[in-house]
Amino acid sequence: MSHKAINTIRSVFNELYPAPGSQDVLEELIATLEKARTDLPFEDQPEGWYKDAVVYSLYVDLFNGTFEGLKDKLDGLAELGVNCLWLLPILDSPMRDAGFDIRDYRNIRPDLLGMSDTTPVEEKQKAFREFLVHAHERGLRVIFDIAMNHTSESHPWFVESRKGPDNPFRDYYIWNKDTNRYKETRLIFKGMCPSNWEKDGEWYFFHRFFEFQPDLNYANPKVLLEICRILVFWLGQGLDGFRADAIPYIWKEDGTNCENLPQAHKIIKIFRAVLDYVRPNTLLLAEACQPPHEVVKYFGNGDECHAGYHFPLMPMIFKTLALSDATPVQHILHPSVTPGIAPENQWFMFLRLHDELTLEMVSPEDRAIIHGHYCKNPGWDFRVGEGISARLSELLDRDPGKIGLAYSIMLSLPGTPIIYYGDEYAKLNDEAYYESFRKETGKDDTRYLARGPLDWEKIALELKDTSSLTYKVNSLMHALLKARNSSGAFGRGSMQWAGVQYSPAGEAAIPVLAYFRSYGDDVVLVVNNLSGNPLEVTSVDSRAVNGINMPDGSAVSTPLVLEPYGFRWIKLSTNN
């Protein structure tokens, strides 16, 4: 693996940067990797560990204040059934975009560690290493976000870059005398940013996101070297993986839309080879809000990302729930839409994340259906109809039956599931947090409705009340995750749609979403009633069903009566 990784780096680097002067940068990169591999105090990670993961996504400060506060809750997260933490941005930042505007790639924000701005960097890094040890001792792996496409405007590279064309850091970013380059590039923050160019003195700099987040210039090999060094640094701290933020945009080429360009894939191949050389099986997770046929390209031939988010599946789950019709989910997972992936790759799935319920990847007709059904408050709108900013419990009418059904679908379809912090407690939108951000920054970013701190005292009280929404959802989540973690079929198994006979029948929609999950001798039948009415399942694939209801261990057989929005995960007997 090590020899192959170095050969990949040399070959791909020379394709990207054929200029003779680039060779010094390449040799500097190779030397960095060789030293890191020699010095690394950790063993290789288990192959494919991310396939068995249940990921919990959180902001450290909003979850419980600091890393010490998070440490206090790790046992509870492990008991819930989580085995991987995805830390939303924790690196030093002015916090104008929730930490995705990075000012220092090697420095943890001191407030997250309960430290001051004057605390030495080494002391902060030591505290983070201690947190990683604490998490690993509880069987929890840790990944975090690294924004590879852009930095904060207050990053030292950009501070130097804006001093003028002769500054050695000028070429770390993209500057132009006018805005006539990259004219085909779409606006990502439509309604919040009028242009991808920001005037700065007599020049303009390019940005795909907010105007305070200038894009890095990967046409400069020194930028690639710097980012590789940052990956290597965090491997040395004990991190288990990286969420590669906004990777479709990292290479720009005039005359294109600056998305999914071949050079971007070459950059990712180098990142992957760096990880494979220094610490194999370190997760590289693609954050590419693209159609599935584009996302799978970021898996390469087993030489790019290990896994990627299935962004279009999420809105189709919501459409399926809105219409009480299995067709949208069945369609999005059809091989003509979601291509097959290699055994070593994996989809990551979610119902909600820190971002909006994005409708970028759906048709105008579907956008109208989903936005019309779920944007129950005009204040939840994001990017002029292209998204909805709301917590899961708000989208699903604070109805534990609907919430449970949504989780039944997401947790049992192929892939690795993500739980967004607070959703296991049916957290609601946080109007006060959104308003405080809007006043502080002047940005009307409605995604902040779906963020905000957890109120642990309130949660504790509600968990004592068996009639509360918090208690009902939390109990269900514990049961579902226990069931999921008891079977390899969910994270590693194949899926086959099940033909279900049910009554009452005759509707145009298909109100039952059913499928088999299989991994060796482990076979689970999942049956979801999408309607608000009871249904009786009389047979599956023209056969009777006999098995064990996974959450409670009770015997199950057809006819199977499903309550409104009810579901069953059935471990099948050997005679099925």
What is the distance between the alpha carbons of residues 193 and 164, in angstroms, rounded to a whole number? 25
Q: What is the pLDDT of residue 151?
A: 97
Q: What is the pLDDT of residue 506?
A: 65
DSSP 32-97: HHHHHHHH--SPPPPTTGGGG--EEEE-HHHHHSSHHHHHHHHHHHHHHT--EEEE---EE---SS
| Band of pLDDT at residue 193, cut at 50, 70 and 90 | confident
Alpha-helical regions (H) of 304-423: 313-323, 327-332, 364-374, 392-395, 400-412
Sign of CA dihedral 16, 22, 23, 24: negative
Q: What is the pLDDT of residue 190?
A: 77
Residue 576 has pLDDT above 60, yes or no: no
What are the structure tokens assigned to 75, written together? 């046992």
Any idea which residue has 């369609």 for tokens?
Answer: 331
Q: What is the pLDDT of residue 501?
A: 94
**Average pLDDT score, the chain:** 95
Q: Could you tell me if 501 and 542 are in contact, meaning their C-beta atoms sit under 8 angstroms apart? A: yes
Residue 28 has pLDDT above 80, yes or no: yes
- CA angle in degrees (0–180, nearest 5) for 73-78-80: 95
Q: Could you tell me if 538 and 502 are in contact, meaning their C-beta atoms sit under 8 angstroms apart? A: yes
Q: What is the pLDDT of residues 419-457, one digit of tens each?
A: 999 999 999 999 999 999 888 888 788 999 999 999 999
DSSP 408-477: HHHHHSSSEEEEETTGGGTPPP-HHHHHHHHHHH----GGGGG-----HHHHHHHHT-TTSHHHHHHHHH
What is the distance between the alpha carbons of residues 338 and 284, in angstroms, rounded to a whole number? 20
Residue 350 has pLDDT above 70, yes or no: yes
Domain with CATH 3.90.400.10 in the chain: 152-215
Q: What is the pLDDT of residues 519-558, one digit of tens each?
A: 999 999 999 999 999 999 999 999 999 999 998 889 999 9
What is the distance between the alpha carbons of residues 420 and 351, in angstroms, rounded to a whole number? 8
- CA angle in degrees (0–180, nearest 5) for 129-66-85: 60
Domain with CATH 2.60.40.1180 in the chain: 493-572
What are the structure tokens assigned to 205, written together? 């700099």
3-state secondary structure (DSSP) of residue 241: strand
Superfamily of domain 493-572: Golgi alpha-mannosidase II (2.60.40.1180)
What is the distance between the alpha carbons of residues 226 and 246, in angstroms, rounded to a whole number? 17
User: Mean pLDDT across the stretch 84-100?
Assistant: 94
Residue 573 has pLDDT above 80, yes or no: no
Q: What is the pLDDT of residues 298-336, one digit of tens each?
A: 999 999 999 999 999 999 999 999 999 999 999 999 999
Q: Could you tell me if 216 and 148 are in contact, meaning their C-beta atoms sit under 8 angstroms apart? A: yes
User: Mean pLDDT across the stretch 169-176?
Assistant: 98
DSSP annotation of 159 reads H
Half-sphere CA count of 228, side-chain side, radius 13 A: 31
Q: Could you tell me if 367 and 359 are in contact, meaning their C-beta atoms sit under 8 angstroms apart? A: yes
- For domain 152-215, say whether CATH 2.40.110.10 is its number: no
What is the distance between the alpha carbons of residues 570 and 47, in angstroms, rounded to a whole number? 29
Q: Please report, as a single letter, which amino acid is at residue 67.
A: F
3-state secondary structure (DSSP) of residue 357: strand
State the pTM of this model. 0.95
Q: What is the pLDDT of residues 218-254, one digit of tens each?
A: 999 999 999 999 999 999 999 999 999 899 999 999 9
Residues involved in catalysis: 245, 287
What separation in angstroms does the CA of 215 have from each of 13, 261, 268, 555? Answer: 20, 16, 17, 57
Q: What is the pLDDT of residue 2?
A: 74
What separation in angstroms does the CA of 207 have from each of 101, 151, 194, 249? Answer: 12, 10, 11, 10
What is the distance between the alpha carbons of residues 232 and 106, in angstroms, rounded to a whole number? 11
Half-sphere CA count of 113, side-chain side, radius 13 A: 25
| Band of pLDDT at residue 1, cut at 50, 70 and 90 | low
Residue 574 has pLDDT above 70, yes or no: no
Q: Please report, as a single letter, which amino acid is at residue 275.
A: L
Q: What is the pLDDT of residues 99-142, one digit of tens each?
A: 999 999 999 999 999 999 999 999 999 999 999 999 999 999 99
Beta strand 241-245 pairing with 141-147: parallel
